Amino acid sequence: MNTFGNIFRLTTFGESHGAAIGGVVDGMPPGIDIDMDFIQAELARRRPGQSRLTTARKEADQVELLSGVFEGKSTGQPIGFIVRNENQHSQDYENLRDVFRPSHADYTYWTKYGIRDHRGGGRSSARETIARVVGGALAKLVLRQLGIRVTAWTQQVGPIACDRDYTQLDLSQIEQNDVRCPDPVKAQQMADLILQVKADGDTIGGVIAGVIEGCPAGLGEPAFGKLHAMLGAAMLSINAVKGFEYGDGFAMAERRGSEVKDEFMAESPAPGDACDAAMRHTAASLSLATRTNHSGGIQGGISNGQPIPFRVAFKPVATLLMPQQTFDIHGNPVTINPRGRHDPCVLPRAVPIVEAMGAMVVLDAHLQHLACRA
């Protein structure tokens, strides 16, 4: 399905070479100032052609909000929006019309639907994430008022990793380089690697790290709606993602309980500074912080008020600018030699997408939480 979320819901549509990418945000709280410059700036962070590290496809990616806003404020009604596609080179794909590219979704779409738009990956193109960035930007406008921040950065490109975590990094440096890594030395190494890979006609994978800060205790649902399960589903739904972990993640598999327990420490002033709206709905008469945060800010699926760090693994893009053997829809072997404009590494452009998905998950959890008490 093409809808995400429970209360704050994003529905997306659009193909890479169709008329437009767009979507509908339902459940947007009313009375929020709609900062169009901010929304467009978020799209600019995801836009192709923004640096020499990305595809050369040039798209303005100008968004038009079609509804749900009145005199600059949200009205609580659904916000429909579109971004016209402009710089398609559909003819680049004509020779791929009947061919299944390896490690692409060509074969699976064809098997599922018996028909597919082969141009630029059609619906499976990462251009779909434009709609997510718009949805995420709207969510961020609400979260801003609640004091909640979702921040992501490129933590690893191929074997080059920035091992320091959010407590040790200056996150204000993320946007200071094209890679979106807050460690300038690592960022330079990553950029060099990406350019080398690009020169080889190859691609490279990586990891994006993120952290949710200012999240009040109490968000998330027990059982199947655990906050990190929603977060994981959100991240895994992004193109090219192969893994998700939060808190100490996979590393916790090697640890003893005594090593990773997060002990409480009393917090001075009681509830409410961070998020009055949420606090209205809790019976909490005190607020406790933890000394450590191995758990990643969530216990039993519900936030505990600590930061929520997470990591998302991306595979290398499947489009390689080199000859490859494959088959066409008639079962005949063919050799393809893709040309065109492709990202050697999606990480830098995926940073705002990860943030967008995270922002929508947290806002949705917040709104759901408001409905859990009469």
Q: Footprint of a copy of itself on residues 199-228 (CB under 8 A)?
A: 202-207, 217-226, 228
Which SS3 state, helix, strand or coil, does residue 310 take? Answer: strand
Q: Judged by CB under 8 A, does residue 308 bind a copy of itself?
A: no
Which range, of 42-50, 167-175, 179-187, 315-323, touches a copy of itself by CB under 8 A? 315-323
Shortest distance, CB of residue 8 to a copy of itself, whole angstroms? 9
Phi, psi torsion values for 11, nearest 5 degrees? -110, 130
Contact in structure between 309 and 213 (CB atoms under 8 Å): no
Shortest distance, CB of residue 105 to a copy of itself, whole angstroms? 2
Measure CA of the first residue to CA of the last residue in the chain; give whole Å. Answer: 31
Is the Cβ of residue 23 or residue 358 nearer to a copy of itself in the bound state?
A: 23
Is the Cβ of residue 169 or residue 231 nearer to a copy of itself in the bound state?
A: 231
Shortest distance, CB of residue 21 to a copy of itself, whole angstroms? 8
Q: Judged by CB under 8 A, does residue 329 bind a copy of itself?
A: yes
Is the Cβ of residue 43 or residue 139 nearer to a copy of itself in the bound state?
A: 139
Query: Site for a copy of itself (CB under 8 A): which residue of 36, 44, 64, 168?
Result: 64
Among positions 26-55, residues that touch a copy of itself (CB under 8 A) are 26-27, 29-32
Query: Site for a copy of itself (CB under 8 A): which residue of 22, 120, 307, 309?
Result: 22
State the CB neighbour count (10 A cutoff) for residue 283: 8
Which range, of 52-60, 164-172, 181-189, 293-301, touches a copy of itself by CB under 8 A? 293-301
| CA dihedral (219, 33, 13, 87) positive or negative | negative
Among positions 222-281, residues that touch a copy of itself (CB under 8 A) are 222-226, 228-230, 232-234, 236-237, 239, 242-250, 252-264, 266, 277, 280
**Interface with a copy of itself: number of residues (CB under 8 A):** 163
- Distance (Å, whole) CA 348 – CA 54: 8
Binding pattern to a copy of itself, positions 155-184, x when CB under 8 A? -x-xx-------------------------
- Distance (Å, whole) CA 47 – CA 40: 10
Buried b (16+ CB within 10 A) or exposed e, 143-173: bbebebbbbbbbbbbbebbbeeebeebeeee
Residue 66: name the closest of 58, 57, 75 by CA.
75
Query: Site for a copy of itself (CB under 8 A): which residue of 50, 173, 272, 294?
Result: 294
Q: Which contiguous run of DSSP H or E holds residue 362?
A: helix 347-370
Which range, of 25-33, 50-58, 170-178, 181-189, touches a copy of itself by CB under 8 A? 25-33
Residue 179: name the closest of 149, 200, 204 by CA.
204
Shortest distance, CB of residue 60 to a copy of itself, whole angstroms? 17
Is the Cβ of residue 167 or residue 285 nearer to a copy of itself in the bound state?
A: 285
Query: Site for a copy of itself (CB under 8 A): which residue of 188, 213, 272, 327?
Result: 327
Residue 280: name the closest of 354, 370, 203, 190 by CA.
370
Contact in structure between 214 and 149 (CB atoms under 8 Å): yes
Which range, of 44-52, 162-170, 173-181, 298-306, touches a copy of itself by CB under 8 A? 298-306
Q: Judged by CB under 8 A, does residue 304 bind a copy of itself?
A: yes
Among positions 134-153, residues that touch a copy of itself (CB under 8 A) are 142, 145-146
Shortest distance, CB of residue 38 to a copy of itself, whole angstroms? 17
Q: Which contiguous run of DSSP H or E holds residue 161?
A: strand 160-161
Residues contacting residue 152 through CB under 8 Å, at least 6 positions apart? 180, 208, 209, 210, 211, 351, 352, 354, 355, 358
Among positions 74-133, residues that touch a copy of itself (CB under 8 A) are 74-80, 82, 100, 102-117, 122-124, 128
Q: Judged by CB under 8 A, does residue 4 bind a copy of itself?
A: yes
- Distance (Å, whole) CA 371 – CA 374: 7
- Distance (Å, whole) CA 319 – CA 101: 8
CB neighbour class for 20 (10 Å; exposed up to 12, middle 13-18, buried from 19): middle
